[in-house]
Structure 1
């Protein structure tokens, strides 16, 4: 059965990816974390595009877009790996 990736899982994945990217302009690596009884793993190489954002507290060079060079997203439960409907385009919306 296909596992449907929820908005909460996209939000969690995007937050972890943004944290792993930090201030870099390129990311290549893996993120593994538990979510809703599953072990999730995003492996990706992405080019990071940034833009200046102004806040009352100051300015920051925020992530504006990610261009994937390559990626895969795995969801594994007690019964083994579950195919999922993860979309990198959808992930980009949550950054």
Structure 2
């Protein structure tokens, strides 16, 4: 939402034309753009929830999801290892359908 608002202000101020809005411009405005790894490879969701709750929706497009039943206080190293093991055995396609 903040990225869209920033772009809207740029359009309003004449810095960007509406037809210039594209995926690259949106990515530039994301708060995670300043990090070394703005797109996570793996998201581990604890507590048995099966949703991402609007968390990094754009950045999670090609992220592998792992759902764990453990609650946060009970989440241990073994849970991380199991999630990483599962991740290592996945065939990632990044949106391709020809696999």
Q: Which has the larger radius of gyration?
A: 2
Flag the structure with higher strand content: 1
Is the TM value for this pair above 0.5? Answer: no
- Which band: TM-score by shorter chain? under 0.3
Q: TM-score, normalised by structure 2?
A: 0.24
Q: TM-score, normalised by structure 1?
A: 0.25
